[in-house]
Amino acid sequence: MKRESNVRLWISLILLLGFVYLVSWSSAQEVSPQPGPALAAGAAPKVDPGAEPVPFTKGLFDQLGGAKVAMDTVWTLMTAFLVFFMNLGFAMVESGFCRAKNTVTILAKNFIVFAVSSLAFLIIGFGIMFGDGNLFFGTQGLWFVGGADNSPATAQAYQGVYSSLNWTGTPLWAKFFFQLVFAGTAATIVSGAVAERIKFGAFYIFSFLMVGIIYPVVGHWIWGGGWLAKIGMFDFAGSTQVHSIGGWAALAGAMLLGPRIGKYRKDGKINPIPGHNIALATLGTFVLWFGWFGFNPGSTMAADFNAIARIAVTTNTAAAAGAVAASIMAWMFLGKPDLTMILNGSLAGLVAITAPCAFVSVPSSLVIGLVAGVLVVLAVLLFDRVKVDDPVGAISVHLVCGAFGTLAVGLFAQDQFMPGTTGNGLLFGGGMKLLLAQLAGVVSVGIFVFGSSWIFWNLIKATIGLRVPPEEELEGLDVGEHGIMAYPEFQLPGDSMPLEERSERPMPLPAGQLVAEREKL
């Protein structure tokens, strides 16, 4: 034990020294200013037909006029399609991390959540988020994107109730679809944390309420010209706006639902419940990593090649660093480099870099990813200690690392990447102003989202109920909730329950006979 403690101590010291060195190194980097993300695209200048040919530079790019608008639109939509593709990644990760008997219901939730989100955001969410109103929510153009400019206008033609969208020159419907896939991602995060015991209908209803009300209210604060934007908070691609919102809502749901049967023993020990297909979870994580190259670089919503290239590299660097840090932490605390921790480590790095990806240097993104990889392992262990059962680690990844990523803007931001602002973070001589604005965002969003989610979850609980009956949970939600199994030739209901429970009940009946027996009750 003494030798093991010494090894852990040395590893901890090496990590600490490495962190200090990287911070010093990133601070000393002399990066020449580059054009930042297109945060305020205006009308494109006209092309002078008599002008001399010039090399293909940003100046020529800006002279392309309508072609630039077209390129911006194509870029925005293509990256939105990548973010949509992340739904597949979430479905694979969550189903792989959970037991075979709940595969169908997890896939069903991940599929229906985007359909529900699409309608909720179209009907009411977009208007609350981007409609003109007050500092807290939009009050104009609320229904069905029905404001004064509900047609594909571009550039300076954006006026009226959606004036907060003046910052790029892409058409309204391109902006709508890009924002929609982000809203759907936030709702999908909740699915994993409440898996294996929530009623399908309860999740269905909460998803609509979340995307229709909770998500867009916070979106108005941050991205719609609301009060957090006014005090100077920055969240480029959504560490708070997407990931922390999903994490806070998931935490409220997981706490109200309680842990899965058999997860925590009477003597206080934790009973591991392994997932049924780690290969599927690994493939899903690769899909998410790939999709993040739409998530972060796409948030320029303009084909600004310098910004896109740097954001892609900061995104990838943080993901890689998160995976490495999580593997080392798992080795230290669990004795083995647990693959599930490595997968969540990469996602932790991606979540953490989402807010600062456009505002920080590449060396800084390495530090951010390393810290996120450490945090996610500690958070998973902590939530297990306090008996918050999260089958996939969604709260640790999205809430904890989303909050850290938001604060990282206040630590690592450099004003050369934030045109028109005084955006230096604390580690680059910017003082506490930006960090305090980021902290205000983390705290206020946490209070609002957790509180409103708690209310909505309780309303659902009081009406249709949140949790399936114990016998349905033991046999698997697939049969009880959907009447089918994911692997009918290889699986019997309940065959993947913890060994303690399996020894306490008779062998399960075949699926058809089990359904018939249940109908007699």
E strand or H helix at 348: helix 339-354
| The pLDDT of residue 139 | 84
Look at 419 and 374; give whichever has higher pLDDT.
Answer: 374
**Mean of the pLDDT values across residues 37-41?**
34
> Phi and psi dihedrals of 297, rounded to 5?
-60, -30
Asked if pLDDT for residue 90 goes beyond 80, the answer is yes
> What is the distance between the alpha carbons of residues 132 and 247, in angstroms, rounded to a whole number?
28
- Distance, in Å, from the CA atom of 125 to the CA atom of 202, rounded to the nearest integer, reads 20
Which of 21 and 311 is assigned the larger pLDDT? Answer: 311
What string of DSSP letters covers 257-319? Answer: H-PPTTSB-TTS-B-----S-HHHHHHHHHHHHHHHHHHTGGGG-S--HHHHHHHHHHHHHHH
pLDDT exceeds 70 at position 232 = yes
**Which tens digits make up the pLDDT trace of 255-277?**
999 999 999 988 878 898 999 99
Average pLDDT, the chain: 82
Domain locations in the chain? 71-463
The whole-angstrom separation of Cα 170 and Cα 66 is: 11
What 420-424 contacts at long range (C-beta under 8 Å, 24+ apart), as own/partner pairs, is: 420/39, 420/40, 421/232, 421/234, 423/234, 423/359
User: Model confidence over 177-218: pLDDT tens digits?
Assistant: 999 999 999 999 999 999 999 999 999 999 999 999 999 999
Q: What is the pTM of this model?
A: 0.83
Q: Inform me whether the pLDDT recorded for 53 exceeds 90.
A: no
The model's confidence at residue 171, banded by pLDDT at 50, 70 and 90, is: confident
Give the rounded percent of residues in the chain with a pLDDT score beyond 90: 61
For 279-320, what is each residue's pLDDT tens digit? 999 999 999 999 999 999 999 888 888 889 999 999 999 999
What integer pLDDT is reported at residue 212 of this predicted model?
Answer: 96
Residue 187 CB burial class (10 angstroms; 0-12, 13-18, ≥19): buried
The answer, yes or no, to whether residue 54 has pLDDT greater than 60, is no
Reading the block at residue 378, the tokens are 């500690």
Res 325: pLDDT: 96
Q: What three-state secondary structure class fits 95?
A: helix
Q: Which CA distances in Å does 156 have to 42, 69, 160?
A: 6, 12, 11
58 to each of 20, 54, 143, 146, 314, how far by Cα in Å?
Answer: 37, 11, 39, 36, 22
Give the residue carrying structure tokens 């980021």: 438
Instruction: Quote the CATH superfamily of domain 71-463.
Output: Ammonium transporter AmtB like domains (1.10.3430.10)
Among 130-144, 408-422, 469-483, top mean pLDDT goes to 469-483
What pLDDT was estimated at residue 86?
97
Closest by alpha carbon to 243, among 467, 421, 449? 449
pLDDT tens digits for range 446-460: 999 999 999 999 999
Cα distances (Å, whole numbers) of residue 516 to 472, 507, 513: 14, 16, 5
pLDDT in the model for residue 493: 57
Tell me, what's the pLDDT at 14? 56
pLDDT tier at 66, thresholds 50, 70, 90:
low
Q: Does 158 score more than 50 pLDDT?
A: no
Instruction: Give the pLDDT score at 166.
Output: 57
User: DSSP string covering 47-69, please?
Assistant: P-TTSPP--S-HHHHHTTTHHHH
Mean pLDDT value of segment 137-151: 72
- Predicted confidence (pLDDT) per residue in 486-512, tens digit: 888 776 655 555 544 444 444 444 444
Backbone dihedral region of 141: left (phi > 0), alpha (psi from -120 to 50 degrees) or beta?
Answer: left
The pLDDT of residue 161 is above 50 = no
User: Which of 106-115, 366-375, 414-423 has the weakest average pLDDT?
Assistant: 414-423
Tokens of 370: 């390393």
Reported as a pLDDT band with limits 50, 70 and 90, residue 170 is confident
Q: Residue 40 — pLDDT band, cuts 50, 70, 90?
A: very low
Task: State the Rg of the chain over Cα.
Answer: 24
